[in-house]
């Protein structure tokens, strides 16, 4: 047995232990990269969804959370002289993002363009819990 085989097995076990996605053939789940921010009185979520079609994306609000879910199906084929290679990628995703205090889910908009989903909703900046009161000398 090669020492590299043992190291590979150890690395795989560490990946599983820390619940990180391991890219393996036949893996049917994936977690798309997302960016969550507040900007100009809005709560904005951007998700990178390469290989996903608009009709395979669902966006909804549930239990004070923004839910992004869907699936991707992609096939790559390469043909050259004396060579043929084909791969298929399938996977489902589900992301739940807690809504900030004061967000208005009733005015949510979602746009999908070139594999990027952008969801926006009004969410005014939170009022500070602490306010400094100046003390004047009388």
Establish if 85 belongs to a structural domain.
yes
User: Can you name the residues that pair with 68 across neighbouring β-strands?
Assistant: 59, 95
Establish if 136 belongs to a structural domain.
no
Backbone angles phi, psi at 107, to 5 degrees: -115, 35
Establish if 134 belongs to a structural domain.
no
- How does pLDDT run along the chain (138 residues), one tens digit per residue? 555 566 666 665 655 555 444 444 445 667 889 999 998 899 999 999 988 899 999 999 999 999 999 998 878 888 888 888 888 777 889 999 999 988 999 999 999 999 999 999 998 877 778 888 899 998
Cα distance between residue 20 and residue 75, in whole Å: 25
Q: How many domains are there within the chain? A: 1
Please tell me the predicted confidence (pLDDT) of residue 128: 75
Structural domain boundaries, residue 110: 26-122
Establish if 4 belongs to a structural domain.
no
Please tell me the predicted confidence (pLDDT) of residue 8: 61
CATH number at residue 52: 2.60.40.790
pTM of the model: 0.64
């Amino acid at each position: 047995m090669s020492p590299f085989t043992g190291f590979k097995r150890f690395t795989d076990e560490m990946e599983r232990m820390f619940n990180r996605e391991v890219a393996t053939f036949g893996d049917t789940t994936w977690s798309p990269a997302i960016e969550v921010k507040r900007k100009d009185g809005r709560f904005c979520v951007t998700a990178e969804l390469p290989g996903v079609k608009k009709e395979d994306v669902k966006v909804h609000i549930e239990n004070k959370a923004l839910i992004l879910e869907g699936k991707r199906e992609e096939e790559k084929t390469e043909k050259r002289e004396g060579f043929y290679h084909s791969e298929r990628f399938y996977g489902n995703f589900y992301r739940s993002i807690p809504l900030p205090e004061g967000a208005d889910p009733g005015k949510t908009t979602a746009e999908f363009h070139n594999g990027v989903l952008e969801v926006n909703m009004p969410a005014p900046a939170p009022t500070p819990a602490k306010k400094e009161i100046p003390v004047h000398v009388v």
